[in-house]
């Protein structure tokens, strides 16, 4: 019977040893939600600053999302031949939208980037529209391996005022078209895709103007 206390002590020690596991390590709340970015780059052939079937898609235009105040690129989208680019699984948050000016042919000028600062919300899709217009002499497109030169854009934002509509995408991009990069003159509305009864539709976005965020980083 004298061994009994020692067995109890052993059990107690075992309990204590088991208790040394940190049981709370997996009880951490984290933001895991992501969103989707759709970039639309088009050449505004009819100069109405709205993408429609009469316009042409712009391929190879690279759009980036940067964490404000940082040089960290959270997402990059390069438009394909149809002028569209998709990036999925973007961590939700507020981002600065940067246009890689090296990917815009010199023969095109950037008329508008609809939003310089966007907020990716959970399970939401965001469309960034880049409006290009022919201007000046034709220039060859830069090599795709060029180091991005992010161009900070500063502008005001205007939410969509028209009713929900789908986007009529341009079908073609004329080869060899490029325009020199100029200052953005006119912003386009930001729109986001939401799912209405399973059908993706565009709706005005509630992106808040945050021009202060667009100042160059002091750090």
Which residues contact other proteins (rule: CB under 8 A)?
A: 1, 4-5, 8-9, 11-13, 15-16, 18-20, 22-33, 67-72, 74, 91-94, 119, 121-124, 208, 210, 212-213, 217-219
Is 4 or 147 the residue whose CB approaches other proteins more closely? 4
Residue burial 189-199, b: 16+ Cβ < 10 Å; e: rest: bbbbbeeeeee
Smallest separation, CB 218 to other proteins (Å): 5
Is 15 or 163 the residue whose CB approaches other proteins more closely? 15
CB atoms within 10 A of CB 216: 7
Cβ contact 154:88 at 8 Å? no
Smallest separation, CB 10 to other proteins (Å): 11
Is 197 or 218 the residue whose CB approaches other proteins more closely? 218
Smallest separation, CB 118 to other proteins (Å): 11
Q: How many residues are listed for the chain in this entry?
A: 219
Smallest separation, CB 211 to other proteins (Å): 12
Is 65 or 110 the residue whose CB approaches other proteins more closely? 65
Smallest separation, CB 36 to other proteins (Å): 13
Q: Is the dihedral of CA 180, 184, 185, 191 positive or negative?
A: positive
CB atoms within 10 A of CB 149: 13
H/E segment holding residue 7? helix 4-19
CA distance 62 to 153: 14
Is 33 or 169 the residue whose CB approaches other proteins more closely? 33
CB atoms within 10 A of CB 74: 17
Smallest separation, CB 125 to other proteins (Å): 13
Q: Report in angstroms the alpha-carbon separations of 99 from 14, 121, 155.
A: 61, 21, 14
Is 92 or 169 the residue whose CB approaches other proteins more closely? 92
Is 40 or 65 the residue whose CB approaches other proteins more closely? 65
Instruction: Enumerate helices (H) and strands (E) in the chain, giving the number of each.
Output: 1, 12
Smallest separation, CB 162 to other proteins (Å): 23
């Amino acid at each position: 019977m004298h061994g009994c206390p020692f067995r109890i002590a052993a059990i107690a020690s075992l309990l204590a040893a088991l208790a040394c596991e940190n049981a709370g390590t997996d009880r951490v709340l984290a933001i895991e939600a992501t969103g989707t970015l759709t970039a639309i780059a088009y050449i505004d052939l009819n100069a109405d600053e709205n993408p429609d079937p009469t316009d042409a898609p712009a391929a190879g235009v690279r759009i980036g999302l940067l964490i404000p105040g940082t040089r960290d690129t959270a997402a990059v989208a390069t438009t394909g031949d149809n002028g569209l680019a998709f990036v999925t699984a973007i961590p939700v948050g507020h981002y600065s939208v940067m246009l890689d000016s090296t990917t815009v042919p010199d023969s095109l000028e950037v008329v508008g980037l609809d939003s310089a600062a966007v907020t990716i919300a959970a399970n939401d899709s965001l469309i960034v529209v880049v409006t290009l217009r022919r201007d000046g002499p034709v220039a060859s497109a830069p090599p795709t391996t060029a180091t991005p030169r992010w161009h900070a854009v500063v502008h005001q934002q205007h939410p969509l005022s028209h009713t929900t509509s789908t986007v009529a995408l341009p079908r073609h991009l004329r080869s060899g078209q490029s325009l020199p990069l100029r200052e953005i003159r006119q912003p386009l509305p930001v729109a986001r895709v939401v799912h209405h009864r399973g059908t993706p539709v565009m709706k005005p976005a509630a992106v808040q103007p945050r021009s202060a965020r667009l100042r160059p980083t002091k750090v």
